[in-house]
């Protein structure tokens, strides 16, 4: 098989997992193409000798069968951005902490890739949010969430929100999170939002530190466009797309809708979302045991 490898480029001690992964894939006769940033990191952080099939800046015309994310969910999100609309499925090897997207642990790599080569895995599609703006910038895509937040640390912002052309609410506070089902276990959950089943055709809107006790998260159908207009005393606001922020002037209108393409996630055979909840979040576990 032909793999594209993306990895964590911040924590040197975790790069030892890359050496183990190269050895495992080499034993199967696989070709490994390495993301340029990760390749540079490995060359600086490790002394082991490896000979990738190539260094990649993009995945066009390489005939990649699967992408591998070696790190945490943040690394997986980077891999998803690089995969884009290609439809290449992504395997997440978790060397981070929680790992909802990257759910194959480092000590499971050998067994997992043996089973993968035998076809013992599943692929699940995850929906994306598409962001377009009134300044005609290129669309942006999020697998987890798009967050609108204030540009400074003092005053609130007002987020005028319409769904399907109908006014929903004006959120006063630190900001607003619009999350996919995949992102419902990320920032939205920390802000009090619900957990959404990954294949549900919905989005969830969760306010960040709202200036009203009446404001609660709301789940909406993902076939309706969401339009946001923002008022800010600073004259600007921030938009974070899966954690990558950009500043906009307050007159900018944001439109969010379900993207036409999806991201394909490779899962261990028999590994379900409920199993992940039980394992990662101790769902339903009796603390006395």
Same domain, residue pair 8 and 119: yes
Q: What is the pTM of this model?
A: 0.90
**CA 159 from centre of chain:** 24
Residue 246: give the domain boundaries. 129-258
The active-site residue out of 37, 65, 73, 111 is: 73
Is there a single domain that holds both residue 30 and residue 78? yes
Least confident range from 100-104, 156-160, 170-174, 226-230: namely 100-104
Residue 287 falls within a domain, yes or no? no
Candidate from 47-61, 218-232, 255-269 with smallest mean pLDDT = 47-61
Q: Which range is most confident: 44-48, 81-85, 165-169?
A: 165-169
- Please indicate, yes or no, whether residues 179 and 238 belong to a single structural domain of this protein: yes
Note whether 55 and 33 are within 8 A (CB).
yes
pLDDT for the residue 232? 92
How many domains is the chain built from?
2
Same domain, residue pair 113 and 218:
no
Mean pLDDT of the chain: 90
pLDDT digits (tens, 9 = 90+) for 133-158: 998 889 999 999 999 999 877 789 99
Give the pLDDT mean for 282-288. Answer: 67
Q: Is the pLDDT of residue 70 over 90?
A: yes
- Cβ of 145: how many Cβ atoms within 10 Å? 25
> Do 59 and 83 sit in the same domain of this protein?
yes
pLDDT for 228 equals: 98
Highest mean pLDDT among 84-88, 165-169, 231-235: 165-169
Rounded-to-integer distance, Cα 109 and Cα 190, Å: 30
Task: Answer yes or no: do 77 and 10 share one domain.
Answer: yes
Q: Which of 231, 254, 267 is nearest to 93 (CA)?
A: 267
* Structure-block tokens of residue 80: 């998803």
- Percentage of the chain surpassing pLDDT 90? 67
Q: Specify whether 73 is catalytic.
A: yes
Q: How many CA atoms lie within 13 A of 111 on its CB side?
A: 7
C-alpha span between 7 and 143 (Å, rounded): 18
Query: With 80 as the cut, is the pLDDT of residue 283 above it?
Result: no
Inside any domain, residue 289? no
Of the two residues 10 and 248, the one the predictor is more confident about is: 248
Q: Helix 16-27 vs helix 109-117: angle between axes, to the nearest 10 degrees?
A: 30
Kindly state whether residues 86 and 8 are assigned to the same domain: yes
Q: What is the CATH classification number for the domain harbouring 175?
A: 2.60.200.30
Q: What is the pLDDT of residue 147?
A: 98
Check whether 271 has a pLDDT greater than 80. no
Is residue 111 located within the same domain as residue 189?
A: no
CATH classification of the domain holding 23: 3.40.50.10330
| Statement to judge: residues 52 and 161 lie in one domain | no
Q: Give, as one character, the DSSP assignment of residue 137.
A: P
């Amino acid at each position: 098989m032909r793999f594209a490898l993306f990895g964590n480029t911040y924590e040197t001690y975790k790069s030892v997992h890359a050496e183990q992964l190269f050895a495992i894939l080499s034993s199967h006769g696989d070709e490994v193409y390495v993301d340029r940033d990760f390749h540079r990191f490995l060359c600086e952080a490790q002394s082991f000798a490896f000979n990738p099939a190539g260094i990649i800046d993009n995945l066009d015309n390489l005939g990649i069968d699967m992408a591998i994310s070696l790190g945490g969910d943040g690394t997986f999100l980077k891999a998803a951005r690089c995969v884009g609309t290609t439809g290449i499925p992504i395997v997440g090897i978790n060397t981070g902490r929680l790992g909802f997207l990257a759910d194959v642990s480092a000590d499971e790599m050998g067994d997992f890739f043996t089973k993968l080569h035998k076809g013992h895995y599943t692929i699940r599609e995850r929906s994306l949010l598409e962001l377009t703006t009134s300044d005609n910038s290129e669309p942006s895509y999020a697998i987890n969430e798009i967050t609108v937040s204030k540009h400074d640390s003092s005053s609130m912002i007002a987020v005028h929100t319409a769904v399907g052309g109908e006014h929903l609410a004006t959120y006063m506070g630190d900001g607003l999170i619009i999350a996919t089902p995949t992102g419902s276990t990320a920032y939205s959950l920390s802000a009090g939002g619900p957990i959404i089943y990954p294949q549900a055709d919905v989005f969830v809107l969760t306010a960040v530190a709202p200036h009203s006790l009446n404001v609660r998260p709301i789940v909406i159908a993902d076939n309706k466009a969401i339009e946001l207009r923002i008022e800010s005393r600073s004259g600007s606001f921030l938009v974070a797309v899966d954690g990558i922020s950009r500043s906009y002037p307050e007159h900018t209108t944001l439109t969010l809708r379900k993207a036409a393409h999806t991201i394909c996630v490779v899962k261990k055979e028999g590994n379900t979302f409920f199993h992940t909840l039980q394992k990662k979040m101790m769902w339903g576990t009796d603390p006395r045991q």
